[in-house]
Structure 1
């Protein structure tokens, strides 16, 4: 019988008497020895329950708010954790403003402490391979957490976490490279004109300069970079006639261009809260703007800087991107991955693009060298597991078993 649990992780300290991080844990449907995956939804400030119920969790919500099994849940091949973080996201809460997180140092420390507590409670999983997965703003969270785990492991403090890899879906990781790609992606997909392209591009030099001034530790300079760079995206959004900027094939409908009202209704039901152990006065909000506002100075920092050290230790990195997402588009991700300096950079750049095949059919384009793999997924937007659930599950299964790159052999033209 599959183990399914929801918990609050309590921060036990004098300073943090009422800070609780909420998470779900689902044991693999196949084998307890399968890898442990922690899933981080982005935002910042968006609940991982969005992924649980709309993307890759064990269950889907029906129109009458009942649960049905998801045939493509990632718990089919992994033991998976969904956590609401930073504090203030989803059901995670605190009674103190001291628990508000403003940068990746605070975020990664909280997640690391959570994992230490998780493996203490679940010692049977300590030796399992461990992977960090997520999408969107998790392009910041994931490298930061991987670095924090690696640091803890090297210092031999606490429980050793068997970190094997990081998987980032349509992430924001290196804004200096990704923001200038907005106009190129929009023009190539014919959602803006050449005149609009040239006009918006006039803002790029100031944006790039501001991001460089932000660096990795700036505060006011990072806010200035955010103000200077966001118009590159917003000016495009204002021109695309209510298109969904997470999937340019669709219309933007609802608060987040998608209708997530079902999960909000479900998790606000009294009986559901009681079953999950959630206090009745804690409201579930899909995405918390206060968390996002608190993280504003973190937005323009380059989290790719810590990745090369992890690659040199053979910690795997999978970057997968739905081809129709604008907001964290494949082109910007493609560019920063190729620009990243590490010992295998030349070989990665020179590697051939090959078909990513699922059930004998091309589902995307794959490029790999050593521990670094990039996949452009066909017919998907920002949330690949929602748009292409079979493709995403197969991708995870092959990646964590080391078979993702060995099965591809059809060379395709350069992108």
Structure 2
């Protein structure tokens, strides 16, 4: 017990000096200096800043003084932001082919969103990635609580990076962050209205394959699986008769197709990220506080978490009333948050259509389909895309680049 108390005391002392970001010029596994500007650090939030949230900040490779500033939230809940940084839309990724041991090799990517935007990749909630707590006695994280904590994080971060206060600010992320992002946008908006400092130049939000309302998502998975020819007509009709349109009540032991629902594809890249992030030289390069965490894991499952936002639709409505623009996109091959469920809750908003459903193109090829609404919402599918941008990086980047610059897709 005395040893644990001593360690906690040490972490408290270290955290008081951790709020200053540190520039990272070299990363183990990447040959030569980084071709982009990377900063890592911690921001303390909550009572006595007991929660230390770790972040990676990458300046835009185009015009950082004027380009938008994004905060990117990875899903889970509890997945490290390395998922976004190294697999989805960051400027480096792992070289998978030919790996034969040792420190994994990092390569530059072609379609990083940092080519047109400044991005903060944030490890949240506490216990995710390199974020840690200076005390053992914390309330369990929750959807609504995280919206408040991240709101506090971004105001403190901007207080230390005043040169970005005037940049257009967007909250962004994918998967489970679809529950948190709309609530966070509302928190920021309220804070601005109440005169919180610094004021955040909030313009909108971006969410990919968002978990939004579990009733919508669960009830659309079987129709989606049937429409994609993953289950037979006979099985679909049987499920439809037994579920009567409510597939939540179906016994998963009696349905072969439901095994797809919780399937999480453990690719070779999971092993590489674990080897890389647990390498001591990597932690030193990233300026991770020694002793703050034990083993790094890509997604921390099994930890207490309160999913207290059952549906984020009411937040979408409130944010639309405030006039914030939004991009909602879906990989059209995603079974976890099927595009038909996203379309269903968007329809429930009852906003008039400004531009009807049409294909959006890249070099005269269909890259997906899109529709825009009167509430400044753009919805888009990414043809052949999966649950995150990593499956179609080129298409996802071009879609984002067009939207963030105000161009039609």
TM-score bracket, shorter-length normalisation: 0.7 to 0.9
The answer to whether 1:290 aligns with 2:302 is yes
2:352 counterpart SS class: helix
1:81-100 matches, cutoff 5 A: 81-100=120-139
The answer to whether 1:23 aligns with 2:81 is no
Question: What per-residue deviation string (whole Å, max 9, x for no partner) do you get for residues 62-91 of structure 1?
Answer: 245122211111110000010010111111
The answer to whether 1:400 aligns with 2:404 is yes
The answer to whether 1:325 aligns with 2:347 is no
Match of 2:68 in 1: 35
Rounded to whole Å, the distance in 2 between the matches of 1:112 and 1:234 is: 42
Question: What per-residue deviation string (whole Å, max 9, x for no partner) do you get for residues 191-249 of structure 1?
Answer: 12334334444446667xxxxxxxxxxxxxxxxxxxxx48688876x4377x6977xxx
How far off its partner does 1:97 sit? 4.7
Do the aligned partners of residues 398 and 233 (structure 1) sit closer, same or farther apart at CA in structure 2, a change above 3 Å counting?
farther
1:353 counterpart SS class: strand
Aligned match for 1:347, one of 350, 353, 366 = 353
1:239 counterpart SS class: helix
The answer to whether 1:363 aligns with 2:361 is no
Rounded to whole Å, the distance in 2 between the matches of 1:135 and 1:368 is: 20
Aligned match for 1:239, one of 257, 266, 272 = 257
Match of 2:228 in 1: 189
Partners of 1:328 and 1:382 within 8 A in 2: yes
- Count of aligned positions: 364
Partners of 1:172 and 1:178 within 8 A in 2: yes
Question: What per-residue deviation string (whole Å, max 9, x for no partner) do you get for residues 140-191 of structure 1?
Answer: 0110110111110111112111111111111111222222111110111121
1:179 counterpart SS class: helix
Do the aligned partners of residues 103 and 198 (structure 1) sit closer, same or farther apart at CA in structure 2, a change above 3 Å counting?
farther
Question: What per-residue deviation string (whole Å, max 9, x for no partner) do you get for residues 116-161 of structure 1?
Answer: 1110111000000011111110110110110111110111112111
1:106 counterpart SS class: helix
Rounded to whole Å, the distance in 2 between the matches of 1:235 and 1:382 is: 26
The answer to whether 1:59 aligns with 2:92 is yes
1:248-397 matches, cutoff 5 A: 253-254=265-266, 259-281=269-291, 282=293, 283-291=295-303, 293-295=304-306, 297-298=307-308, 301-341=310-350, 345-347=351-353, 351-370=355-374, 371-383=376-388, 385-397=389-401
Do the aligned partners of residues 353 and 141 (structure 1) sit closer, same or farther apart at CA in structure 2, a change above 3 Å counting?
same
Partners of 1:38 and 1:131 within 8 A in 2: yes
The answer to whether 1:176 aligns with 2:215 is yes
Partners of 1:87 and 1:100 within 8 A in 2: no
2:385 counterpart SS class: coil
Q: What is the TM-score when the length of structure 2 is the normalising length?
A: 0.82
Do the aligned partners of residues 179 and 235 (structure 1) sit closer, same or farther apart at CA in structure 2, a change above 3 Å counting?
farther
Match of 1:6 in 2: 40
How far off its partner does 1:101 sit? 3.9
Rounded to whole Å, the distance in 2 between the matches of 1:5 and 1:364 is: 34
Do the aligned partners of residues 267 and 103 (structure 1) sit closer, same or farther apart at CA in structure 2, a change above 3 Å counting?
same
How far off its partner does 1:308 sit? 1.5
Q: CA RMSD in A?
A: 2.5
Rounded to whole Å, the distance in 2 between the matches of 1:258 and 1:170 is: 23
Partners of 2:62 and 2:115 within 8 A in 1: yes
